[in-house]
Structure formats: C-alpha cells, structure tokens
Amino acid sequence: MLAGLFAFPAYATGVFECEPTDRAAWLSQEQVSEKLTDDGWQVRRMKEDGGCWEVYGTTPEGQRVEVYVHPVTGEVLLINQRGTILYRKEG
C-alpha cells in the first residue's frame, strides 16, 4: 500500500541517452557482456540507463570506464572515464 506513495518516474542518471527502441528487440545483458568480452573488454556490472545498456568495465587497453551500449545492436556509443568522454559515436 505504501509502495505507491514512493513511486518515482525513471529518469536517466548517466551522461548519455539512447534513442527509444522496442524493448522486445533489446539484447540481453548476457548477450551484451559476451559481445564486449569477445572484443577484449572486461565487464564488471551492467544496468539499464537512459534507454541504453550502461556497462562498467575495463577496455582492452586496461582503462576502467563507463560505457553506453546500444540496446539492440550492441554497438559502443560512448566511453566515459571519470567525467571525461574518451569516445562518442558520431551521428
């Protein structure tokens, strides 16, 4: 009964937002993790944020970063390290 009193809208908390996509078309966390791991990344944790998969992990070069991944394609859209954008996909 009290749960309704504390309901808040879900806003993106990160620095990036993806274009809205059909949730049914999203890759699972396991699929995104496998794709990144195959590309040499180490994945520590992952959550949904701003319509993207937000991944905390380590790049193939050993940098600890926050990465925003397109939820349908698995493409890396943004790499952020302590407030500095290291990569942002054009477009």
Residue 35's domain comprises: 24-88
Residue 55 located in a structural domain: yes
**This prediction's pTM:** 0.81
In a domain, 6, yes or no: no
Tell me, yes or no, whether 68 lies in a domain. Answer: yes
Q: What is the pLDDT along the chain (91 residues), one digit of tens a residue?
A: 444 433 333 334 567 899 899 999 999 999 999 999 999 999 999 999 999 999 999 999 999 999 999 999 999 999 999 999 999 999 7
> Contact, 54 vs 66, CB < 8 A?
yes
Q: Say if 14 falls within a structural domain.
A: no
The CATH number linked to 65 is 3.10.450
Is residue 10 situated within a structural domain? no
The confidence score (pLDDT) of residue 8 equals 32
Structural domain includes residue 2: no
Residue 67 has φ and ψ, to the nearest 5°, of -125, 135
At 30, which amino acid appears?
A: E
Assign residue 73 a region: left if phi > 0, alpha if psi is -120 to 50, beta otherwise? alpha
Mode of pairing for the β-strands spanning 76-81 and 42-49: unpaired
Residue 10 main-chain phi, psi, to 5 deg: -90, 110
Structural domain count of the chain: 1
